[in-house]
């Protein structure tokens, strides 16, 4: 539990930056965090919100976020099971990062891989 999963930082300048992203790397983590900014969510809610994440990966990422103390997992002892995820205080402190990521993304979405709409437009 909480084994040193993150690579050791050798604290050169830029260390802080490296440390920060090491917590949110992995394709899904910041997406999860971002969604949790809006409030508590259940497992399958997150699953849908994240788009195409697999069950295994979502579980995995949630566990790591929990280990790192960014999110809180609350299990209700009932059937069917109910588990709620929410941001810890530390998690909330990342809001500025998430926000700047979102802002940049919004401003530049059309610049790189603009995802084309699923339906083919009139072409052909």
Partner DNA sequence: CAGTATCCGTTGCGATACTG
Partner DNA sequence: CAGTATCGCAACGGATACTG
List interacting residues with DNA (CB under 7 A): 26-27, 42-45, 52-57, 59, 62-63, 73, 80-83
Query: Measured from the CB atom, is 15 or 83 closer to a second copy?
Result: 15
User: Measured between alpha carbons, how far is residue 112 from residues 22, 35, 40, 74, 115 in Å?
Assistant: 24, 23, 32, 38, 9
- Per residue, what are the HEC states of 57-80? HHHHHHHHHHHCCCEEEEEECCCC
Q: Rounded to the nearest whole angstrom, what is the least distance from the CB of residue 42 to DNA in the complex? A: 4
Beta-sheet pairing, 71-76 with 41-42: unpaired
CB of 15 to a second copy, least distance (A): 7
- In this complex, which beta carbon is closest to a second copy, that of residue 74 or of residue 99? 99
Minimum CB distance to DNA, residue 103 (Å):
24
Q: What residue 42 binds from a second copy, DNA, none (CB within 5 to 8 A, per partner kind)?
A: DNA
């Amino acid at each position: 539990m909480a084994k040193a999963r993150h690579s050791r930082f050798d604290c050169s300048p830029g260390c802080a930056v490296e440390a920060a992203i090491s917590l949110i790397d992995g394709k899904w983590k910041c997406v999860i965090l971002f969604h949790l900014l809006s409030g508590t969510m259940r497992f399958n809610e997150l699953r849908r919100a994240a788009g195409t994440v697999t069950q295994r990966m979502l579980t995995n990422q949630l566990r790591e976020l929990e280990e790192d103390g960014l999110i809180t997992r609350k299990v209700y002892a009932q059937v069917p099971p109910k588990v709620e995820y929410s941001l810890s205080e530390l998690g909330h402190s990342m809001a500025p990062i998430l926000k700047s990521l979102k802002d940049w993304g919004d401003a530049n979405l059309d610049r790189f891989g603009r995802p084309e709409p699923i339906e083919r437009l009139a072409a052909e």
